[in-house]
Structures are given as structure tokens and as C-alpha cells.
Amino acid sequence: MKNGMRIFLILVVVVGLFLILRPKNTPNEVLTTDFLLSEELVQYFVDELEQPIIDQLSQPIEGFTPAIFASQYGGISLEDFDGAEALQGTYVYINGTLEFQFEEGEIPHSAADTLTQEGMKTFLSNLAERNEVIVDTESEIDSLLETLQ
């Protein structure tokens, strides 16, 4: 009986410590989603974001850039592309301006600023953070895309 009581007390202490020491989300905290995004969800996001542009304007020969997305979706902020990888560099949002920084040693070509799959993942992550949502289903991506119209 004494051993059962000791085990019970130890469990109460362990559970109590867990509840006290666990990370807590505050209302003002922005949640990062980058580590949660599966390749399938990123591809779904890319397909759903690009298809209306392809239907309306056609497939861009050089690929998709932030300028193309921003011109078609009023809810996109250029800041959403901060850190997004392109074929030959990275987009950086500095002092209210989105700048494309070429990788050193690369010879620029016409598609240098085209977003890569990893760049689209960063873009999706930034969008989700700005909108304070975690996107882990296709329906949540659909809802996020609706806010961009």
C-alpha cells in the first residue's frame, strides 16, 4: 500500500512538472509552420496558386516569380517572399523592398529569379505565419488562398 502511494505521488509530481514547464502559446505569439509542411501540401499550394494564373494568362515561360503572384493576388505582401529561394539566388525583404540577391559566382540567366519548390515552401510558411494559421491540410491551404484574393 505504501509503494502504491509513493508511485501515485511521483506520478502527480511528474505530471505537475510537465504542465508547468511545457511551452505555452500566447495570443501574440506567431507560430512557425515550416517544419510542419509536407512536400505534398507544398505541391498542393503551388498547384492551387499557379493554376488560376495559367488559366487566365498562360504558363510563364521562365516560371513564377514574386512579381507574378503579387500582381494576381491582392492579399500577398512582398514581405511574404522574404528568404524564398530562387533558381540563382534568394529574395530578401529589406526596408520595405523585396530584393533579389544573386548567388555569388553564378552566371545570370533569364529564369534566375524563378521561385524553386523550396522557395515556395518558404513563401507558404511566411504566409501562414503572417496570417497566424498552421496549414496541415488541403482545406486549410484553400482557406489561406481565399484570403489572398
Tell me how long the chain is. 149
Report d(CA 118, CA 81) in Å as an integer. Answer: 11
Spatial distance between the Cα atoms of 11 and 3, rounded to a whole number of angstroms: 12
Residues 57-115: tens digit of each pLDDT: 999 999 999 999 999 999 999 999 999 999 999 999 999 999 999 998 878 889 999 99
Rounded distance between C-alpha atoms, residue 25 and residue 7, angstroms = 31
Closest residue by Cα to residue 57 from 65, 68, 48, 47: 68
Could you read off the pLDDT of 125-134 as tens digits, one per residue? 999 999 999 8
- Which residues on adjacent β-strands are paired with residue 115? 86
Taking only the tens place, the pLDDT of each residue in 38-48 is: 899 999 999 99
Burial readout 62-88 (b: 16 or more C-beta within 10 A, e: otherwise): ebbbbebbbebbeebebebbbebbbbb
Q: What is the pLDDT at residue 88?
A: 95
